[in-house]
A and B are shown apart, each in its own frame.
Chain A
Amino acid sequence: GAVVSQHPSRVICKSGTSVKIECRSLDFQATTMFWYRQFPKQSLMLMATSNEGSKATYEQGVEKDKFLINHASLTLSTLTVTSAHPEDSSFYICSANTGVTDTQYFGPGTRLTVL
């Protein structure tokens, strides 16, 4: 089946630094990629939807200047957490859609810890 990878799987950074998380579709072209955030014992919350070559659509309450999303190719989307603070510590998950069906294929997630 379709495989989505994320890198890194874990990252620890200092407050004020920026962190980039990559999401790759390994064996298919992803017309749409989704970014989710999951707090401990909470639901996955959709942050934004990105289509290749166009600007991402952010959900209400998500700061687009803080969470920069780039979907530059059909196999890669990146999420950059700018000027990270401890409250940004969370589990970030991406998913990708082939465009042929509407099935979302999920990556394994990235655990971000901001000190």
Chain B
Amino acid sequence: GDSVTQMEGPVTLSEEAFLTINCTYTATGYPSLFWYVQYPGEGLQLLLKATKADDKGSNKGFEATYRKETTSFHLEKGSVQVSDSAVYFCALSDLKGSQGNLIFGKGTKLSVKP
């Protein structure tokens, strides 16, 4: 069945460092791809999404490009801040454009030090 694999954490970076969190997926169809973020003590929030190949999702300085050829959706940010410390989840939905059937990766905890 469909699945999502993302790099294991925790990831610890200094402020202003470059961030990459790898995410690859396995799907039989053409899923939509998502990144969710969970700040301490809060629920998951949608960070960005892409619904078709070569789409780039972006929000709050984070970007991810839907790469069909490598089945990847890596999350990047050029300069992280302490406030970016959170757990990041990669997810896919096999319902086109929908978040109704979300399949999540295990999550990657990011800690940014001042």
Contact = CB atoms under 8 A, between A and B. Distances in A.
Q: Which of A42, A44, A93, A108 has the most CB of B within 10 A?
A: A44
B90 to A, nearest CB: 10
A41 B104 CA distance: 12
A112 interface: no
B106 A42 contact: yes
Interface in A84-111: 93, 95, 97, 102-109
B59 interface: no
A68 interface: no
A54 interface: no
B66 to A, nearest CB: 18
B61 interface: no
Interface of A is mostly: strand
B2 to A, nearest CB: 12
Contacts of A45: 104
Nearest to A104: B99
Nearest to A105: B43
A107 B43 contact: yes
Interface string B19-49: 0000000000000000010100111111000
A106 B105 contact: no
Interface residues of B, number: 21
A77 interface: no
A12 to B, nearest CB: 19
A37 to B, nearest CB: 11
B112 interface: no
Given A41-B106, A42-B106, A43-B4, A103 B99 contact: yes
B107 A93 contact: no
A46 interface: yes
Contact of A44 (B41, B98, B104): B104
Interface in B33-90: 36, 38, 41-46, 89
A4 interface: yes
B101 A95 contact: no
B59 to A, nearest CB: 13
B104 A106 contact: no
A43 B105 contact: yes
Contacts of A95: 43-44
